[in-house]
Chains A and B, each alone.
Chain A
């Protein structure tokens, strides 16, 4: 009997002090993010603080909750592990909602719709779409849906990098033939670098969601409520204009 109680409190189950209650009590929402993904989250070279679409969104959510945001930057492929081990209470990181991930975490309603695209160097005349990827080398970001998509292609060599910037550099240096990545980030990269272009159609339709632990149903519900309000308010449109 004592053992069970210990386990329950350790899990922060809803009938003890719920995560939402704790957040409101402490006045802080701890957030995990992989701040290497312009324009959704990145660390500003001027302020040294995270900035971006996701950052703006979650900061607004925090103000609706009446708490302060506290960011923990973590590499993408370890970020869910950080959530389940209580290093933070939510994750916002341009994370696509997938069934696989939904087995480990709970997602809010989608807040952004993206899709995978193919990026190549400007002078590339060989790759025009997904059919031309056979036998090619693909750069992706470790642990992303882009990587999973690339893996599903036949007869390709996949090179996962810690952050997508490295994959783009590899592309420019000619060590990979194409990069598979979310459309919005790729678009920004195309605009900033001027050395790459997007070819073919958008390969998938993907939605981003905020992730929380499966047991934190109160928190999840509250976040969903806030997101709905912000959507109705037109806040998402504002962000789209600001960042794209």
Chain B
């Protein structure tokens, strides 16, 4: 009995140790995720709109972008941008990581946003035009605001996926949660315990994010849309 208690205390102490070691890396994970996703949102909304609007030259380019980026593994993208372009453009770790994640998720958000725009009834567009708005004005004041509200749930999911994928920047030696975990592990070989704490940390972050997103969904829901108005 005594032995089991000793072992338990030892384990808890180890877990606490790991937790303390990993905690300073959490802000880095959060920072990468937020910066990347902000970039992804900006890119996604623009590219999604361009794809729908069928503008000469630009729209086909947008199509190429979304196809290519979604067809390449994110890890490869990160390597390419950091080691490949990084030398030429002298991109720092955070910059390269943010660009890679932002460009990658931008493509997915573009597709989601495109679907969101297409889901807005044609009548909305016609009503805007009939009031004398130009195409640009109709998009800006009528279509896009509605599409943005429409896509909040799928975009929120992408945000959480982005948080988890931020772990990939550990390969360019950026100090975030996963890399810190691997460092601790390689110093002590406490494998199971390390990954347990890493998983818990990510879980805390994703759950917090989910709650935040639910809150936002409620706040921005258009009255009268969806199943539960």
Chain A residues with CB under 8 Å of chain B are 77, 80-81, 100, 103-104, 139, 142-143, 147-148, 151, 159-162, 166-167, 169-170, 172-175
In the assembly, what is the distance between CA of A148 and CA of B183, in Å?
Answer: 10
C-alpha gap A147/B11 in the complex (Å): 26
State the majority secondary structure of interface residues on A. Answer: helix
A147 touches B191 (CB 8 A): no
Does B211 lie at the interface of the complex (its beta carbon under 8 Å from any beta carbon of A)?
Answer: no
Contact residues, B79-109 vs A (CB, 8 A)? 83, 86-87, 90, 92-93
Which B residues between 42 and 92 are near A, CB-CB below 8 angstroms?
83, 86-87, 90, 92
Sample of 15 further A-B pairs with CB below 8 A, known A148-B187, A161-B172: A77-B185, A77-B186, A100-B189, A139-B173, A143-B186, A159-B173, A160-B186, A161-B171, A166-B83, A166-B172, A169-B83, A172-B87, A173-B90, A174-B90, A175-B93
Q: List chain B residues, Cβ under 8 A from A81.
A: 189, 191
Contact B182 A77 (CB under 8 A): yes
Q: Which residues from A are CB-within-8-Å of B179?
A: 160
Taking a contact as CB atoms under 8 Å apart, the answer to whether A147 and B171 are in contact is no
Q: Is the CB of A175 within 8 A of B171?
A: no
Interface residues on B, range: 10 to 19
User: Which A residues lie within 8 Å of B90 (CB)?
Assistant: 173-174
**Which residues of the other chain, B, contact A159 by a CB distance below 8 angstroms?**
173
Q: Report the Cα distance A173→B88, complex, angstroms.
A: 8
Cross-chain contact A162 with B187 (CB below 8 angstroms):
no
User: How far apart are B82's CB and chain A's nearest CB, in angstroms?
Assistant: 9
Residues of A within 8 A of B92 (CB): 175
Q: Which 4 A-B pairs have the closest CB atoms?
A: A143-B186, A159-B173, A173-B87, A77-B186
Contacting residues, chain B, for A104 (C-beta < 8 A): 189
In the bound complex, what is the Cα–Cα distance between A100 and B188 (angstroms)?
A: 8
Label chain B's interface by main secondary structure: helix
Question: Which of B87, B173, B185 neighbours the largest number of chain A CB atoms within 10 Å of its CB?
Answer: B173
Choose among A100, A143, A170, A172 the residue that contacts B173 (Cβ–Cβ < 8 A): A170
Decide: A166 near B171, CB < 8 A? Known: A173-B86, A174-B90, A175-B86.
yes
CB pairs A–B below 8 angstroms (24 shown): A77-B182, A77-B185, A77-B186, A80-B189, A81-B191, A100-B189, A103-B189, A139-B173, A142-B186, A143-B182, A143-B185, A143-B186, A148-B187, A160-B173, A160-B179, A161-B171, A161-B173, A169-B87, A170-B83, A170-B173, A173-B83, A174-B90, A175-B86, A175-B92
Q: Nearest-CB distance from A44 to chain B (Å)?
A: 21
With both beta carbons as reference points, the residue of chain B lying nearest to A85 in the complex is identified as B191
CA distance in complex: A221, B51 (Å): 67
- Assuming A80-B189, A170-B173, is B183 touching A142 (CB within 8 A)? yes
Checking B172, B173, B187 against A151 with a beta-carbon cut-off of 8 angstroms, the contacting residue is B187
Nearest B residue to A173, CB-CB = B87
Docked pose: A167 CA to B93 CA in angstroms: 13
Report chain A residues within 8 Å CB of B172. Answer: 161, 166
Q: Which chain B residues numbered 154 to 202 have a C-beta less than 8 Å away from chain A?
A: 171-173, 179, 182-183, 185-187, 189, 191
Q: CA A173 – CA B93 in complex, angstroms? A: 11
Nearest CB of chain B from residue A47's CB, rounded to whole Å: 23
Q: Are B171 and A162 in contact (CB under 8 A)?
A: yes
With the chains together, A4 CA to B93 CA distance in Å?
Answer: 51
Q: Which residues of B contact A151 (CB under 8 A)?
A: 187
Q: Which residue of B lies closest to A166 (CB)?
A: B83
Q: For B189, list chain A residues within 8 Å (CB).
A: 80-81, 100, 103-104
Q: In the complex, which residues of chain A have a beta carbon less than 8 angstroms from the beta carbon of B187?
A: 148, 151
- A52 smallest CB distance to B (angstroms): 22
Contact B86 A147 (CB under 8 A): no
CB distance from B106 to the nearest CB of A (A): 25
Give chain B nearest CB distance to A151 CB in angstroms. 7
Set of chain A residues within 8 Å of B83, measured between Cβ atoms: 166, 169-170, 173
Q: How far is the CB of B201 from chain A (nearest CB, A)?
A: 19
**Which residues of B sit under 8 angstroms from A148, Cβ to Cβ?**
187
